[in-house]
Amino acid sequence: MRARFTPVLILAPALVLAALGALGAVLLALDQPWAGIDLAVTGDGQDIVLADVDRAGPNDGLAPGGRLLALATADGAARIEPRAADLAEEPDVADSFDALDGVFLVRQGRLHDILASGRARATLAPADGPDRTVTLATAPARPIGDLPVVFWVQVLVAVTGLVMGTWVWSLRAQDLAAFMFALAGWGLALSALCASVYSTREVAMPEGLFRVLSNLNNAGALTFGAGMIGLLLRYPARLVGMRATLGPAVVLAAFVAADMLRLGSGPAITRYLPIVLSMVAIVACLGLQTRATRGDPRGRATLRWLGLSILAGAGAFTLTIIVPQLLGADVTLSQGYAFLFFLLIYAGLAFGVRRTRLFNLEKWAFRILFTMVAVVLIVGLDAVLVLALSVDRGPALSLSFVAVTLAYLPFREAIWRWIFTPVEPQRQRLFSQIVDIALTPPGGSQAARWRALLADLFHPLHIEEAGRATGPGARLDEGGLVLSVPAAGRAPALRLSYAGGGRRLFRPRDVTLVDEMVAMLAHAGESGRAYEKGVAEERARISRDMHDNIGAQLLSALHSAEAPRKDGLIREALSELRAIINAPSAGAVPLDEILANLRAETADRLEAAGIALGWQVTGAAGAVLAPQQAHALRSVLREAVSNVIRHAGAGRVDVDLAATGAELEVRSTDDGRGFDAARTIDGHGLANMRSRIEGLGGAIEIAGAAPGTRLCARLPGGAMQEGGRP
């Protein structure tokens, strides 16, 4: 049975290996004789000058300046005249293997041996005087503070390539494309670490060590090329099978073997040519992938971020370093700093994860990476404090935790937010748009406005109505190609396809945003409907009050023959109109006061119509009515009297009111023509009475009384308080 390992078990050794590789590069760079001098090539490229002297070094008393003509041991047994080529950052510039092995590396070995003797004699030619010979002291090891920035840049690139490549592979261990990406990272790490040691040497290195590091640097560079070609042959679209994927690696391995065996004419053939061919192959693979992902927005979005990152990173390094050296032109950029171009690949990986879920990496994958890096930082910093600064182990570990907490964790949090925090639309503008959609009047284009808002937010290539219900919330379908949006308001369920004009996939945070928008739309719609309902109810109340109260007052005025009384009734109607308008803000009213006014008003109306009134009240002392209760009582009684005046042809009306703690009962009985329930159709008046009473939880009955009509209305006691308490 094939063993499988968790991502942590794969990534942890890679982090340890990265730490050991960085430590090994540091130790090799420090294990060299150190004179504390800075040599530079003259402007014509022919000679070497003593440009500067480290005042903290073994030659702090030596004055800089003058051309360096020769270096020799103290006894004169070994002597060499330095050349500008001896300071070359990269030995591959040699025209042939004879020039590389027999000249450059041999001279490096001789220079190193002279400096390693401890005391050397340097012959200098000042610009304004005769030649002079000075003693050049050297320390057996180089201090870590003397390592230049470009050394640490190359170490950073190496560690990044190794860790990021292994991280992706650890999450997709069965994926050949992920393995090829990891292979490229391992090759980059090997190439950059070796180059960091020899390219930042003070003067020279041992011949054998230089040869090994140079060969490994080339092997790492071609391994990187093999990995990137293999990756693009399998991802995002699978172009070839497994054997063809490994084909470029076999070809480049043959170049590595030819270089180590010195089978070609020189480094230009075994080193630079395969690098250029690798770059051509990468460009060709990108072209094939572009064709293969046609019509596949997910693959095209992945290719855009990963492919362009590879092209920018590896291509920039090839154009600025490899191509000029292959053509014999001057290189204007330090190779060590040119390694920074490779970080573009891993920046593209981060952008790809953020935009298109590159390699299907999710949040948990980043948690693994960040946690493992934190552990390595704590252990590594602890080791530095103990071994380099001689800090006790207990305080060293505490300081390590503090340093990582204060420095690394905020950086990690910033990266986390950058990758996984969505770019939110302006909430205020979005809320305003949703409210406008929710308040679209019936018959308006709410569905069209909702589609327009979704189109503005996500820029999908297609928006179509869902053929079936999508469920209570939004969801991702087809691996992020489609976002299903549930029905919202009067808008149907929708399917949005190919976000960003086909340039990206829908993401989980898009689902969250749509769910929030749907909830906002529902809330705004409910608020709008509640407002409309309140407006309609208030209009109905005013209409009922106008009919029952104002109508009753004006009817009485119409039947009054006396001008003063008519004027008084009209003034009362105006007062009643103001009361209707201000009814919601009115306070509780004593029942005695209401009944007294109603009795006087009813008596006047009936007297004007020639109808006698009987009035009986029981239990009203000390009770008060809520505004709605008082209004309903007045309206019901007025409407009952109006009906008697208009339709009954009665000679007498008896009104009985009984108030208890449970309810208020109103009875009105007349001796008129009577009431036929089977033939009578409610008008506005009867409907208004029922609406008022039933709206307060009461009941109303209208029936024949043989002769006449009897009306009985009961109002619940919850709206009536005793003792003057509202």
The per-residue pLDDT for 423 is 45
Cβ neighbours for 546, distance < 8 A, ≥ 6 positions apart: 577, 580
Task: Determine the average pLDDT of the residues in 128-134.
Answer: 86
The per-residue pLDDT of the chain, averaged, comes to 79
104 DSSP assignment: I
* Residue 475 binned pLDDT confidence (cut-offs 50, 70, 90): confident
Task: Determine the average pLDDT of the residues in 116-140.
Answer: 89
Structure tokens at 594: 């209401």
Q: What's the 3-state SS for 638-688?
A: HHHHHHHHHHHCCCEEEEEEEECCCEEEEEEEECCCCCCCCCCCCCHHHHH
Task: Determine the average pLDDT of the residues in 596-603.
Answer: 82
The per-residue pLDDT for 1 is 40
The per-residue pLDDT for 681 is 42
Provide the sign of the torsion angle of the four alpha carbons 249, 250, 253, 258, taken in this order: negative
Burial 76-103 (b: 16+ CB within 10 A, else e): eeeebebeebbebbbbbbbebbebbeeb
Q: Are 506 and 482 in contact (CB under 8 A)?
A: yes
524-551, pLDDT tens digit by residue?
A: 767 666 666 666 666 766 666 666 556 6
**Over 60: is that where the pLDDT of 404 sits?**
no
419-445, pLDDT tens digit by residue?
A: 555 544 455 677 777 777 777 776 558
Q: Are 608 and 563 in contact (CB under 8 A)?
A: no
The per-residue pLDDT for 446 is 79
* Residue 511 binned pLDDT confidence (cut-offs 50, 70, 90): confident
The per-residue pLDDT for 330 is 73
The per-residue pLDDT for 307 is 76
Q: When comparing pLDDT for 575 and 50, which is higher?
A: 50
The per-residue pLDDT for 466 is 80
We find that the CATH architecture of domain 586-722 is 2-Layer Sandwich (3.30)
The per-residue pLDDT for 17 is 92
In the CATH hierarchy, which top-level class contains the domain 33-140? mainly beta
* 192 vs 57: CA distance, rounded Å: 28
Structure tokens at 568: 């008084």
Q: Select, from the ranges 7-21, 213-227, 404-418, 673-687, the one with the highest average predicted confidence (pLDDT).
A: 213-227
* Residue 303 binned pLDDT confidence (cut-offs 50, 70, 90): confident
Characterize the bridge pairing of strands 482-485 and 475-477. antiparallel
Q: When comparing pLDDT for 180 and 661, which is higher?
A: 180
Of 211-215, 373-377, 558-562, the one with minimum mean pLDDT is 373-377
Q: When comparing pLDDT for 628 and 137, which is higher?
A: 137
Q: Where are the domains of the chain?
A: 7-27+148-361, 33-140, 363-421, 427-520, 586-722
Q: Domain 7-27+148-361 falls in which CATH fold?
A: Rhopdopsin 7-helix transmembrane proteins (1.20.1070)
724 DSSP assignment: T
Which amino acid would we find at residue 514? V
Q: Are 689 and 635 in contact (CB under 8 A)?
A: yes
Burial 423-459 (b: 16+ CB within 10 A, else e): eeeeeeebeebbbebbbbeeeeebbebbbebbeebbe
The per-residue pLDDT for 365 is 47
Task: Determine the average pLDDT of the residues in 4-11.
Answer: 73
**Over 90: is that where the pLDDT of 111 sits?**
yes
Strand, helix or coil for residue 240 = coil
The per-residue pLDDT for 248 is 92
Q: When comparing pLDDT for 393 and 161, which is higher?
A: 161
Q: Are 628 and 696 in contact (CB under 8 A)?
A: yes
The per-residue pLDDT for 590 is 82
Share of the chain above pLDDT 70, in %: 74
Q: Are 163 and 18 in contact (CB under 8 A)?
A: yes
How many Cβ atoms sit within 10 Å of the Cβ of residue 557?
19
Cβ neighbours for 418, distance < 8 A, ≥ 6 positions apart: 354
Task: Determine the average pLDDT of the residues in 394-412.
Answer: 57
* Residue 711 binned pLDDT confidence (cut-offs 50, 70, 90): confident
19-67, pLDDT tens digit by residue?
A: 999 999 999 999 999 999 999 998 787 889 999 999 889 998 888 888 9
Q: When comparing pLDDT for 300 and 256, which is higher?
A: 256
The per-residue pLDDT for 129 is 78
* Residue 183 binned pLDDT confidence (cut-offs 50, 70, 90): very high
How many Cβ atoms sit within 10 Å of the Cβ of residue 130?
6
**Over 50: is that where the pLDDT of 354 sits?**
no
Q: When comparing pLDDT for 717 and 636, which is higher?
A: 636
Nearest one of 345, 154, 319 to 231, comparing CA atoms: 345
Task: Determine the average pLDDT of the residues in 337-363.
Answer: 65
The per-residue pLDDT for 726 is 35
Of 131-140, 384-393, 476-485, the one with minimum mean pLDDT is 384-393
Helix residue ranges per DSSP H, 293-445: 297-317, 323-327, 335-338, 343-356, 363-383, 393-403, 409-420, 427-438
* Residue 609 binned pLDDT confidence (cut-offs 50, 70, 90): confident
**Over 60: is that where the pLDDT of 372 sits?**
no
**Over 60: is that where the pLDDT of 680 sits?**
no
**Over 80: is that where the pLDDT of 377 sits?**
no
How many Cβ atoms sit within 10 Å of the Cβ of residue 202?
23
**Over 50: is that where the pLDDT of 105 sits?**
yes
The label of the residue with tokens 């690798």 reads 278
Structure tokens at 269: 């053939």
Nearest one of 547, 546, 463 to 506, comparing CA atoms: 463
Task: Determine the average pLDDT of the residues in 276-286.
Answer: 90
Q: Are 171 and 178 in contact (CB under 8 A)?
A: yes
